[in-house]
Amino acid sequence: MELNVGSTLPASSASAPIRVLIAEDHFITRVGIETIVGGQPDMVVIAGAINGNQALSLYRTHRPDVTLMDMYMPSDGFSAIAAIRKEFQDARIIALSTFAADEDIRRALDAGARTYLTKDVLHDELIAAIRAVHAGKKHFFAPVEAALAAQLPHPEVSKRELEVLHLIANGLSNKLIAYQLGIAEYTINNHVKRILKKMGASDRTGAVTHALQRGIIRL
């Protein structure tokens, strides 16, 4: 879905506008961002995507100067950033999310995002970030800087442990988790023990709370 929503520079301007691709699956949020960005004299929105796969396809077609990428949308933004950066090493991407959890920030930056913004960012901060990233700089605002400064060591949680964590978060007992995953209950008990240790928690509720706060899992 391409969007014909961009503003153009005045004819007297000597420099080309910053061409922006917006990848955001929530319509109202996407339109809001388009309005803010398209209202700048030095920016133009060239296309909009509603999932990560479409973002990659539109990037290949348009080669935008800056991409705004929502992290939690179908065929997620983390994977889309990594795929784009694999093909286009100089891609300048800003990660967008409702959350400022340190694991989300780490994953986005590891995937290749130049910076990370929460969706409650002020309009002028969003515009400043786009201009900074377009200029080849990294640009972080206070909430993200605080999360990065307080970042704890990344617990190496296995794929199976993540599955168990999600099921614990959904209220399933060890017995029901074992039934759903088709493995022995004592194996689940061992997974839970390892999860508690890695989350630094004394019980299942504490482990889930810690994992949610850090962005290790999402409900």
pLDDT digits (tens, 9 = 90+) for 51-69: 999 999 999 999 999 999 9
pLDDT digits (tens, 9 = 90+) for 111-137: 999 999 988 888 999 999 999 999 998
Helices (H), 150-216: 159-169, 174-181, 185-199, 204-214
73 class by beta-carbon count within 10 Å (0-12 exposed, 13-18 middle, 19+ buried): buried
Residue carrying the six token digits 């109202």: 28
Q: What is the mean pLDDT of the chain?
A: 86
pLDDT digits (tens, 9 = 90+) for 30-55: 999 999 999 999 999 999 999 999 99
Selected residue with higher pLDDT from 217 and 27: 27
